[in-house]
Amino acid sequence: MNLAVRNIYTIAKREMGGYFTSPVAYVFIVIFLILAGVFTFPLSDFFARNEASLNAFFFWHCWLYLFLVPAVGMRLWSEERRLGTIELLLTMPVTGWQAIVGKFLASWLFLGLALALTFPMVITVNYLGNPDNGVIFCGYLGSFLMAGAYLAVSCLTSAITRSQVVSFILSVVFCLALVMAGWPPLNDMLSQWFSSGVINAVASISVMTHFSQFQRGIIDSGDIVFFLGLIFFCLFTTGVVIRSYRAG
């Protein structure tokens, strides 16, 4: 294991431990599982649909992550700045990008764990019928990538402010913009003033547009590149912000 990987692992292990040494992780997971169940079954009339699929489950993820993921990411850097530990972290033999990647991966894995704990829903639909498990796998993959994109945005907003509340609000606003850009009712309204080319261009930057492909069971390289590109852009920008602290 080279030094860079070891540093990233150390930071990720420290961050992951921080989640589970406080009630935050358990409260988040419980809330996520409860809301996922409520949105999937009562609100979506799951049993009335009479179909063995998790379309109703994945349909709500764009909106479910809108508040839950920023709640996880808001503390990544703002807490370090508030406590003054960011100066200590940046004086350690760890590069800025190693700290950013380590923190991000720990939080992304935590979100992946929360998502994996919804496996009883997969068991339920397989018990009730014969679903296309390939489509379900694609939905989970897309959901994990989308959670990472939301988290990267939250990582950036957390780096630019020492207030967790401000970071949370900014994250929600930016992530909402990424959702609304592909929301069909909004696109229908904009079509009254703009050409279809403009509407399609706006929709192309929406997480909803790219996630919908995964919901249909389609793994398109363009959609994967979009999510990974968004993650890279936000983490790169976070690095620029962090370097400004080190320079200061």
- Cβ atoms 107, 76 nearer than 8 A: yes
Element containing residue 116 per DSSP (H, E): helix 96-116
Q: Dump pLDDT digits (tens) for 88-142.
A: 666 667 777 888 899 999 999 999 999 999 998 899 888 888 888 999 999 999 9
- For residue 190 the two structure tokens come to 């904009």
Q: What is the pTM of this model?
A: 0.89
Amino acid at 95: T
How far apart (Å, rounded) are the C-alpha atoms in residues 116 and 118?
5
How far apart (Å, rounded) are the C-alpha atoms in residues 182 and 204?
7
Tell me whether residue 141 is exposed, middle or buried, using C-beta atoms within 10 angstroms of its C-beta: 0 to 12, 13 to 18, 19 or more: middle
Q: Dump pLDDT digits (tens) for 151-191.
A: 999 999 998 888 888 999 999 999 998 888 866 777 777 67
pLDDT at 144 over 60: yes
Q: Which residue has the tokens 């292990």?
A: 13
- Cβ atoms 11, 106 nearer than 8 A: yes
Give percent above pLDDT 90 in the chain. Answer: 33
- For residue 113 the two structure tokens come to 């764990």
